[in-house]
């Protein structure tokens, strides 16, 4: 199951605030990753690998033509927590226009979810490496439109 297109970042933040402890939030984050569909093995190729992640992460983008176009992302990782972080990013970015993607203040989202204080620097770097990759896709789609 991919991220529910009806779920917004605000919904996700509300869900995170429901939990009293970071351990519960951490379990919920892992569960978000578990509920996601795995990326097809044919897409787990070096061209789709996200550089800057300690874990292996693959990310693909599909542009749906339109005025404006919309981008849809799929991603996978070999690490449970990273799959949860991927779920957060897909909620924030997938199905959006290039401009909507570029307008997301992901630093604010990261902070509001409490990830800032509870993720290791390596996981934080990986999260933002995935974000940079998604933003590059959005910039390219915006330039092509």
Cα-based torsion angle of the residue sequence 92, 87, 119, 49 in order, rounded to the nearest 10 degrees? -100
Helix axes 9-18, 22-34, angle to 10 degrees: 130
Say how far apart CA 129 and CA 135 lie, in whole Å: 10
Q: What's CA 68's distance to the chain center, in Å?
A: 21
Say how far apart CA 11 and CA 66 lie, in whole Å: 27
Q: Quick one: which H or E segment has residue 70? A: strand 70-77
Looking at the DSSP bridge assignments, the partners of residue 25 are: none
Catalytic-role residue among 9, 29, 39, 53:
53
Looking at the DSSP bridge assignments, the partners of residue 59 are: 75
Closest CA to 76 of 46, 29, 44: 44
67 in active site: no
Residues classed as catalytic:
53
């Amino acid at each position: 199951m991919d991220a529910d297109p009806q779920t917004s970042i605000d919904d996700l933040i509300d869900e995170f605030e429901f939990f009293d402890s970071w351990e519960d939030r951490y379990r919920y984050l892992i569960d978000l990753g578990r509920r996601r569909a795995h990326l097809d093995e044919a897409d787990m190729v070096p061209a789709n690998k996200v550089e800057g992640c300690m874990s292996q992460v693959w990310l693909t983008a599909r542009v749906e033509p339109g005025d404006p176009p919309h981008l849809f992302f799929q991603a996978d990782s070999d690490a449970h927590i990273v799959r949860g972080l991927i779920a957060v990013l897909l909620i924030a970015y997938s199905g959006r226009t290039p401009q909507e993607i570029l307008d997301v203040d992901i630093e604010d989202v990261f902070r509001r979810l409490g990830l800032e204080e509870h993720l290791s620097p390596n996981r934080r770097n990986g999260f933002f490496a995935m974000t940079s990759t998604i933003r590059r896709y959005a910039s390219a789609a915006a330039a092509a439109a």
